[in-house]
């Protein structure tokens, strides 16, 4: 059976519009009645296809009734209209620092050296004091915590430019900037279910970061108390593991805060890659988020992490903004 114009099995998983005949009904001109259906093409199994509309309803359509169709771009998401400043504040909830101090809109964060995010000033908005004084306050705060003074800034922002003008430089030379990406939890969940391997292993979920979950994380082993405080800090947090022969071979973490769920620490052991384990982990993380009512998932991924970027793009994640870390006099 030939494919209708504009459609085919290559469209599975894409948002499409399908024009079809309504059998037994007459249209305004006296010919067959037709209608358009907009949704995600879920299956292509001749002699039928199925389309899931945005209200979640699944419609089965005989290929013989399809007049035409085509993929259409995803509807622009309202969540992408959130400002970079708002997105930074929302994402901070999934990675709470051990020690914090407000500096106007800025947030000073220190956690004994565990992770850049929890040991840098989130420099967004107005510090509430002259910029030079704000920098002095930042330097003094980190000196008091025996840490280097680092700042997290949005790439292209006026604040980032002012740090650069003051002599602050990239804290991680040679590394790409990080991208904060967003996706619909429901859409990403549907996408990952379609991609899961047929005999996917079972993932376990815990409320704590146990020794097995932490075993592969050199940062956490170097700062164990602070790492656990940051990782287990959110009110609602889940730790996903795929365990084989008593060893964690894939893992991830998710924290929920109202409508937003932050995904972090997705990792697969080198010896167990190309088995779809990252998809298994993501499926569990997204299901956990959905069960707690989260509608938006976000994650941070470095721009030079090609496998990660490909995985997340396939699930519908899109870059909201890019950020980097700057260090004083680096």
Q: If the chain, 330 residues long, is cut into consecutive pieces of 10 residues, what is the mean pLDDT of each piece?
A: 76 89 84 89 92 84 92 69 85 94 97 96 96 97 97 95 96 93 92 89 94 92 95 97 94 95 95 91 97 94 92 92 90
Query: Considering only CA atoms, which of 165, 190, 225 is closest in space to residue 43?
Result: 190
Q: Is residue 296 within 8 Å of 259, Cβ to Cβ?
A: yes
pLDDT the model gives residue 56: 75
According to DSSP, the β-strands at 121-122 and 150-154 are parallel
Query: Considering only CA atoms, which of 293, 297, 207 is closest in space to residue 258?
Result: 293
pLDDT the model gives residue 215: 93
Q: What gap in Å lies between CA 77 and CA 115, rounded to an integer?
A: 30
Number of helices followed by number of strands (H, E) in the chain: 9, 17
**CATH architecture, domain 9-71:** Roll (2.30)
Q: What tokens does 71 get?
A: 């993929």
Residues whose CB is less than 8 angstroms from the CB of residue 6 and which lie 6 or more positions away in sequence, other chains included = 68, 69, 70, 71
Query: Considering only CA atoms, which of 157, 127, 118, 1 is closest in space to residue 65?
Result: 1
Q: What gap in Å lies between CA 44 and CA 120, rounded to an integer?
A: 49
pLDDT the model gives residue 330: 58
Q: What is the CATH number of domain 178-322?
A: 3.40.630.30
Residues whose CB is less than 8 angstroms from the CB of residue 324 and which lie 6 or more positions away in sequence, other chains included = 152, 153, 155, 160, 170, 171, 172, 177, 178
The helix/strand/coil state of 227 is helix
Q: Where are the domains of the chain?
A: 9-71, 81-170, 178-322
Q: What tokens does 176 get?
A: 């790409």
Q: Is residue 296 within 8 Å of 182, Cβ to Cβ?
A: yes
Q: What tokens does 223 get?
A: 């700062």
pLDDT the model gives residue 267: 95
Q: What gap in Å lies between CA 134 and CA 140, rounded to an integer?
A: 10
The beta-strand segments (E) located in the chain are 15-26, 32-45, 48-53, 58-62, 66-71, 99-103, 106-110, 121-122, 150-154, 169-170, 178-184, 204-206, 236-244, 247-257, 260-268, 296-302, 318-327
> In Å, how far are 62, 63, 66, 232, 280 from 3, measured between CA atoms?
11, 8, 9, 51, 33
pLDDT the model gives residue 74: 65
The helix/strand/coil state of 225 is helix
Q: What gap in Å lies between CA 216 and CA 220, rounded to an integer?
A: 9
Across-strand partners of 242?
250
Q: What tokens does 118 get?
A: 């929890």
């Amino acid at each position: 059976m030939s494919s209708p114009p504009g459609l085919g099995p290559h469209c599975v998983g894409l948002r499409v519009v399908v024009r079809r005949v309504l059998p037994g009904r007459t249209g305004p001109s006296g010919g067959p009645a037709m209608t358009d259906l907009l949704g995600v093409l879920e299956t292509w199994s001749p002699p039928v296809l199925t389309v899931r509309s945005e209200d979640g309803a699944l419609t089965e359509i005989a290929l013989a009734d399809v007049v035409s169709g085509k993929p259409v771009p995803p509807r622009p998401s309202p969540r992408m209209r959130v400002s970079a400043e708002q997105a930074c504040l929302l994402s901070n909830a999934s990675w709470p620092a051990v020690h914090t101090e407000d500096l106007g809109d800025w947030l000073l964060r220190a956690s004994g050296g565990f992770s850049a995010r929890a040991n840098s000033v989130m420099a967004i908005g107005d510090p509430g004091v002259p910029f030079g004084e704000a920098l002095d306050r930042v330097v003094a705060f980190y000196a008091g915590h025996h840490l280097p003074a680092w700042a997290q800034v949005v790439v292209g922002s006026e604040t980032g430019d002012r740090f650069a003008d003051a002599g602050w430089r990239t804290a991680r030379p040679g590394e790409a900037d990080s991208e904060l990406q967003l996706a619909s939890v429901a859409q990403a969940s549907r996408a990952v279910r379609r991609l899961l391997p047929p005999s996917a292993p079972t993932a376990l979920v815990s409320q704590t970061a146990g020794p097995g979950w932490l075993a592969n994380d050199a940062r956490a082993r170097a700062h164990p108390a602070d790492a656990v405080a940051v990782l287990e800090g959110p009110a609602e947090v889940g730790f996903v593991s795929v365990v084989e022969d008593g060893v964690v071979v894939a893992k991830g973490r998710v924290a929920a805060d109202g409508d937003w769920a932050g995904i972090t620490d997705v990792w697969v052991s080198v010896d167990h890659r190309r088995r779809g384990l990252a998809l298994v982990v993501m499926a569990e993380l997204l299901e956990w988020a959905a069960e707690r009512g989260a509608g938006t998932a976000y994650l941070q991924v470095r721009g030079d992490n090609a496998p990660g970027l490909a995985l997340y793009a396939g699930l519908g994640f899109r870059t909201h903004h890019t950020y980097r870390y700057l260090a004083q006099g680096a």
